[in-house]
Structure 1
Amino acid sequence: MRAAIGLWRWRHNPVRRTTDVIEAWVALTAAVLLCLAVPAAGLAAGLSANGSLQRAVRAQYQERVPTVARVVRTAEEGAGRRTAEEAGEQRLRPAVVAEWTAPDGSSRTGTLNTTRQHARPGDAFPLWTDRSGRPVPAPMHPETARAHALIAGLTVAFLGGLLVETARRLVVQRLVRRRYARLDRAWAQAGPDWGRTGTGS
């Protein structure tokens, strides 16, 4: 971060220009924003995201019920019609016909994908269902929610810092252009007398 470089322009000297003072104020403002406002924005975003995600996690744990499913047989239907992507998915998470118990105590049977590459009849694996007994994805872990919230907070802080630094650079660039324009005008006024002032020529 080069925002602090402009702070030297606060010092009093006879050649200090108005643009130097403005650049110093811009540097100071950028430094304060980067040290205080940007981290505060990132923290607020992270806490807000974590609160929302944790509420979603609690709702998922209330709506979903863990149970155990047992493999009845492998599911080979439609093997000839699978695409390459579906075939890869089938190798990683083979489909099986399994049975499980719904929250109301009734027995259910259906085709499920397992995380085991070799599922044999009688094998058991964990399963989450909704209140009616339909298979659903496992709820998000609270630590995963916190990790997502942390990423959200860091992203907001990074984007905020990038915005502040970009604004600072744009202002400084405009100030530099103004200095060059004033210098060009000064040279244009002094140009016809270059090197001859005070020589009596």
Structure 2
Amino acid sequence: MRDVGWRWRWQRVPMRRPWDVADAWVGLLTLLALLLVVPAAGNAAGRAVAERGMSARAAQMTERHEAVAVLLRDAPRAGADAGAARGKLSEDEALVRARWSGPDGLSRVGDVVAVLGQHKGDRVRIWVHEDGQLAEVPLSRARVTGDAILAGLVAASLAALLLVALRRMCRRCLDRARLCAWDREWAEVGPQWGEYS
């Protein structure tokens, strides 16, 4: 027997039933949706996250200013205890007392992040608010781009999973219809088989 695969559902053959045609249409619509909706969902999510991230970055860049702090003490050496509360610090960083001038020209003293092993008098780049208080580093373009790409991939994946799940649900419903129809047809034809034996 020649293998015609899924194509028989589109041809007018005696074995084709209405649910077979419906199954073929659902499959075709799912394929089209995967080709159109998935990229659109990823693009929309990525653009939204990128726009929001760039707006946040622009706001942070206007509120925060880059400054230079001078270390007042040596940073701990590598392998030494860099402090109990590491917080967001990496393994090669420590909080060290330093002095800096804010945008208003006033001198300030506080703990800044320094690399282990830096010495007293070394300079460290920091970010400060308008009032001269320490601020976090503003969002970078790379971070915003990475977040946008990740959001786009997640949205596209979720859209694809949703479409595949809908396809499977439709297929189950059509399989139930097939089984019910086969049961009805067998109930009509089955008893006649005994007449010919």
TM-score normalised according to structure 2 size: 0.85
User: Structure 1 residues 155, 74: closer, same or farther in 2, change over 3 A?
Assistant: same
User: Structure 1 residues 90, 160: closer, same or farther in 2, change over 3 A?
Assistant: closer
- What residue number does 2:14 align with? 14
- Partner Cα distance (2:88, 2:54) in 1: 34
- Partner Cα distance (1:42, 1:91) in 2: 36
- What residue number does 1:29 align with? 29
- What residue number does 1:38 align with? 38
**Runs of 5+ unmatched residues, structure 1:** none
Alignment of 1:148-187 (within 5 A): 148-187=147-186
**Runs of 5+ unmatched residues, structure 2:** none
Instruction: Give the match's secondary structure for 1:70.
Output: strand
Deviation at 1:153, TM superposition (A): 1.2
Query: Aligned AA for 1:190?
Result: V
Query: Aligned AA for 2:31?
Result: A
Percent of aligned pairs with the same amino acid: 35
User: Structure 1 residues 91, 175: closer, same or farther in 2, change over 3 A?
Assistant: closer
User: Structure 1 residues 61, 87: closer, same or farther in 2, change over 3 A?
Assistant: closer
Provide the aligned C-alpha RMSD in A: 2.5
- Partner Cα distance (1:95, 1:131) in 2: 22
- Partner Cα distance (2:73, 2:146) in 1: 38
- What residue number does 1:101 align with? 101
Q: Mean Cα displacement is larger for which, 35-44 or 165-174?
A: 35-44
Q: Mean Cα displacement is larger for which, 146-155 or 182-191?
A: 182-191
Judging by fraction of residues, say which structure has more helix: 1
Cα deviation code 1:140-169 (max 9, x no counterpart)? 111220111111111111111110111011
In the alignment, is residue 73 of structure 1 matched against residue 88 of structure 2? no
